Amino acid sequence: MDKRDPFRHNVLTSGHRACSGCGEAMAARMVTDLIGPDAIYINATGCLQVFTTHNQQSAWQAPWIHSVFANAAAVASGVEAALRAKGKDTPVVVQAGDGGTFDIGLQCLSGMIERGHDVLFVCYDNEAYMNTGVQRSSSTPHAVRTTTSPPGRLSQGKHHLKKDVISIIAAHHMPYAATATIAYFPDLKAKVEKAMRIKGPRFLQILSPCPLGWVHDSALSVTVSRLAVETGLFPLIELEHGELTGVMRLAEQKPVEEYLRPQGRFKHLFGSKAGAVELRHLQALADARIRRYGLLDADTQWDTACAMQSVRHGRGGYASSMPTSEAVKNDT
């Protein structure tokens, strides 16, 4: 018997405890509503788990399980194996932060992909351990201030580069891996829908700004995530069986400073000689990504300008007039 509440449709309902402007909450709302309630969700430990299942309450209208921090992909492997054994094809979706994906969860994730489990793994990438109070992760970009990569007399923030996790994932020759952000909903929608049409392991890395950790105005989450794309720092790409099959072209390249300025986590870089060096380094990193993925000359009509022309209509602002990534591919 179907015991669901017929009047509440969102998989992730309102009333949860995310911070104002939380990029992860927005992303999770988009992703889970696109997938719908007829799926089983596995959550790694992290902000999403904490703010949606606070103290005996739950904001989930779909079957949802949280075990521990590192094992979401393995739990999902088990759930998927159980469904396979029972002859069911209910979709299985993992949601994890960058800690549960890039760092502590990477081994289980690699195992899940290698074994070919039919699971969509969604990483809400907010580039640090926000749940525990903004400590650096391997996803934290170069030169960012976190509580464990603080700038000081001898330091300009995080010393190391952001881990290129999408390449590591794609190197498993998995059917589908893509990046997305909350700023380009039609793109995100197309990628979620495409992922849900594919069998086997699939991976989505969704840049999810965190006003608390990135130290920006709560109203700017969407803007900031758009600037991450427009500067070339966070390319929107699709990889199928290890091959690059889609990129969102930049209508024009914006200087990284436009992205860095609104964020307090980069504030220490402005106004010092050492900081200026790091700013040039960050610009060089953006330039390198643009060259690597051909973001200024990719053979695609799907660019950041047309993505921004999407008309808001319908629940959640679906932009059905926009070409899907499939249509784009057929055109090229």
Partner 1 sequence: MKQLLEGSQAVAEAVRLCRPQVVAAYPITPQTHIIEHLAQQVANGELAAEFINAESEFGAASIVLGAVAGGARAFTATASQGLLLMTEVLYNIAGLRLPVVMVCANRAVGAPINIFSDHQDSMALRDAGWIQLYVESNQEAVDTLIQAYRIAEACELPVMVCMDGFFLTHTFESVDLPTQAAVDDFLPPFHFVRTLDPADPMTLGGGSEADNYQEYRSAQQAAVEDAQPVIEAFDAEFDDRFGRAHGGLLQAYRLDGAETALLGMGSLMGAVRDVVDKLRDRGQAVGALRLRCFRPFPAQALVRYLSGVQRIIVLEKAISIGAGGILASELRAALHQAGMMTPVESVIGGLGGRDLTPQVIESVFHETSRDEMGATFRFAPDHVMPDETDHG
> Residues in the site for partner 1, rule: CB under 8 A?
1-4, 37-40, 42-43, 49-50, 53-58, 60-68, 70-71, 74-86, 90, 107-108, 110-111, 114-115
Query: Least distance (Å) from partner 1 to the CB of residue 173?
Result: 17
DSSP reduced 3-state for 260:
helix
Query: Least distance (Å) from partner 1 to the CB of residue 226?
Result: 33
Please state, in angstroms and rounded to a whole number, the distance separating the CA atoms of residues 281 and 40.
42
Beta carbon nearer to partner 1, 46 or 246? 46
User: What is the rounded radius of gyration, in angstroms, for the C-alpha atoms of the chain?
Assistant: 19
Beta carbon nearer to partner 1, 53 or 245? 53
Cα torsion angle, 185, 190, 195, 197, sign: positive
Beta carbon nearer to partner 1, 104 or 206? 104
Beta carbon nearer to partner 1, 122 or 307? 122
Backbone angles phi, psi at 169, to 5 degrees: -65, -45
Query: Least distance (Å) from partner 1 to the CB of residue 196?
Result: 14
Please state, in angstroms and rounded to a whole number, the distance separating the CA atoms of residues 233 and 181.
12
Beta carbon nearer to partner 1, 10 or 300? 10
Beta carbon nearer to partner 1, 58 or 309? 58
Query: Least distance (Å) from partner 1 to the CB of residue 19?
Result: 16
Beta carbon nearer to partner 1, 84 or 160? 84
Q: Which of 190, 316, 178 is nearest to 241 (CA)?
A: 178
Distant-in-sequence, close-in-space partners of 179: CB < 8 Å, separation ≥ 6? 166, 204, 205, 206, 207, 234, 235, 236, 237
Q: Which of 91, 85, 88 is nearest to 118 (CA)?
A: 91
Write a three-state SS string for 115-150.
CCCCCEEEEEECCCECCCCCECCCCCCCCCCECCEC
Query: Least distance (Å) from partner 1 to the CB of residue 42?
Result: 7
Do 213 and 132 meet the contact criterion of CB atoms below 8 Å apart?
no
Query: Least distance (Å) from partner 1 to the CB of residue 274?
Result: 41
Please state, in angstroms and rounded to a whole number, the distance separating the CA atoms of residues 217 and 121.
29
Query: Least distance (Å) from partner 1 to the CB of residue 50?
Result: 6
